[in-house]
Amino acid sequence: MSSLIPEAVAWLVLGYVGVIAAGRLLLLRDTIIDQLINRMLLWSIVAMLLYRCTPTPSITSLPIALSLGCVVMTTMYLYVMARYIVAETEPAVVWRRHRRCGLVAVVATLVMVLSGMAAEDNGRPVDLGVHGSAAIFGFAYAAPLAINMVVFLFAGIRELRIGDLSAKTRLVCWLLGISGGFVLISQALSLAQGLTGWPDLGPHLPRGELDFVLCLVFDVTLLAIPLVSALLALAGWDRDGRICRRLRPLWRDLTAAVPEIVLHVDARRGADPATRLFRMTVEIRDALLHLGSYLPAEPYPATESDWELTDYAHRLAHAARARKDGGVPIGAGAAPRPPLVAHDFEAELRQLLGLARVWPQARTAAG
């Protein structure tokens, strides 16, 4: 039975899925959903390998039955994820459900193997007709697949209706729903062909492989989006990482002048960029407060629109140098508090980025 997918394309798909799965196993494995997705990808790879490594693919052969069993196993992970999304239970409950679903997939695979062997012994192809072996084989494969996909789709519809999702998350949910709907329509057409002979779509195995590979490539591409985000964060090229790099010269000089405000180094190492950015802004803000009594006692204009950021940066650089060299504070209240007032984190971040922009020149001028 020939394949509808060229050999070279199939191996390219395998390599693509393998790379994404390896990346997710290395970088995205903390949450339960990530762990379930990663295992689902591994079963998908096994399913494709079993098909590709079979010399003469036949739906009654043992490798192909095992391959279809792996496909059923991948949909079991969709069922477990759907149940977890609907009602976030304890991890022990999730993995207990996962074991039960795995047992169902094993039983379905065993039924397919035995019914395929029986059909082969009787010389009757499983793909044609509704005789006993074909019906049992088709039910063992299609029933769990259809149930799992329906549960997964209903869970997605529920989240779209009542979940507080971002626009990007909603788009991903819709795309996953389209992929799942495509699988259900394909299975419905296969069922109609088996019962009535219409529509005449040809043997199920090549078409089933094509449907599975198309959906796999589509879904894996969506799953690669958080992997790319994780890689950017690891390299420091994401938004928070870029902001951290821009703030680092200012943060380094201010915390060198006021080292007691810095959190322990081990607490910062390995943290995600958002956490590092938050800690960095807090430490810069604390340093500004500590250095307030060292600022030259020169008056500042009353409003933020009047004061010059460059002038403040120069005074701050002198204050940091005086504090680091053991100078005596001017005195509490002698110098006005820094005119950096923000009512939310984003506004404060914009102010600190502006200060960091003029900081190198101020530091140089201070000696």
Predicted local confidence at residue 201, as pLDDT: 76
Taking residue 316's Cβ as centre, other Cβ atoms within 10 Å add up to 29
Percent of the chain with pLDDT over 70: 86
Cβ–Cβ under 8 Å, residues 172 and 222: yes
Q: At residue 334, does pLDDT exceed 50?
A: no
- Give the whole-angstrom CA distance, residue 322 versus residue 101: 67
Condensed to tens digits (0 to 9), the pLDDT of residues 43-78 reads 999 999 998 888 766 777 889 899 999 999 999 999
**Among 235, 254, 279, where does a domain finish?**
235
User: 275-283 — which CB contacts under 8 Å span 24+ positions?
Assistant: 276/240, 276/244, 277/240, 277/243, 277/244, 277/247, 277/349, 278/345, 280/244, 280/247, 280/248, 280/251, 281/247, 281/345, 281/348, 281/349, 281/352, 283/251, 283/254, 283/255
Predicted local confidence at residue 104, as pLDDT: 97
Whether residues 127 and 80 fall in one domain: yes
Predicted local confidence at residue 130, as pLDDT: 57
Whether residues 231 and 295 fall in one domain: no
Whether residues 226 and 268 fall in one domain: no
Domain assignment of residue 311, given as a range: 239-365
Whether residues 177 and 109 fall in one domain: yes
**Among 235, 251, 269, where does a domain finish?**
235
Predicted local confidence at residue 152, as pLDDT: 93
In this structure, what DSSP letter does residue 338 have?
Answer: P
Condensed to tens digits (0 to 9), the pLDDT of residues 159-177 reads 888 877 888 788 888 888 8
Total number of domains in the chain: 2
Which of the given ranges, 100-114, 251-265, 286-300, 330-344, has the highest pLDDT on average? 100-114
Give the pLDDT mean for 223-241: 90
Q: At residue 200, does pLDDT exceed 50?
A: yes
- Give the whole-angstrom CA distance, residue 145 versus residue 139: 10
Q: At residue 333, does pLDDT exceed 60?
A: no
Whether residues 215 and 247 fall in one domain: no
Q: Is 61 left (phi over 0), alpha (psi -120 to 50) or beta?
A: beta
pLDDT band, residue 189 (cuts 50/70/90): confident
Cβ–Cβ under 8 Å, residues 281 and 345: yes
Whether residues 172 and 266 fall in one domain: no
Phi, psi of 36 (to 5 degrees): -65, -40
Whether residues 101 and 141 fall in one domain: yes
Predicted local confidence at residue 119, as pLDDT: 75
Cβ–Cβ under 8 Å, residues 144 and 157: no
Cβ–Cβ under 8 Å, residues 311 and 362: no
Whether residues 50 and 123 fall in one domain: yes
**Which residue has tokens 């109609």?**
192
Give the pLDDT mean for 206-227: 92
Kindly give, in sequence order, each residue whose CB lies less than 8 Å from that of residue 49, ignoring residues fewer than 6 positions away. Answer: 14
Predicted local confidence at residue 336, as pLDDT: 44
- What's 38's domain CATH number? 1.20.1070
Predicted local confidence at residue 307, as pLDDT: 54
pLDDT band, residue 144 (cuts 50/70/90): very high
What integer best gives the mean pLDDT of the chain? 84
- Give the whole-angstrom CA distance, residue 268 versus residue 223: 28
Tell me, yes or no, whether 1 lies in a domain.
no
**Among 177, 209, 235, where does a domain finish?**
235
pLDDT band, residue 304 (cuts 50/70/90): very low
Cβ–Cβ under 8 Å, residues 301 and 347: no
Whether residues 188 and 66 fall in one domain: yes
Condensed to tens digits (0 to 9), the pLDDT of residues 307-324 reads 578 888 888 998 999 888
Condensed to tens digits (0 to 9), the pLDDT of residues 240-288 reads 999 999 999 999 999 999 998 887 654 444 567 888 899 999 999 999 9
Percent of the chain with pLDDT over 90: 42
Give the pLDDT mean for 13-30: 96
Predicted local confidence at residue 335, as pLDDT: 41
Whether residues 25 and 61 fall in one domain: yes
Tell me, yes or no, whether 2 lies in a domain.
no
pTM: 0.79
- For residues 61 and 119, which has the higher predicted lDDT (pLDDT)? 61
Tell me, yes or no, whether 263 lies in a domain.
yes
Q: Which residues of 279-310 are buried (b: 16+ CB within 10 A; e: fewer)?
A: bbbebbbbbbebbbbbbeeeebeeeeeebebb
Whether residues 128 and 268 fall in one domain: no
- Give the whole-angstrom CA distance, residue 315 versus residue 352: 15
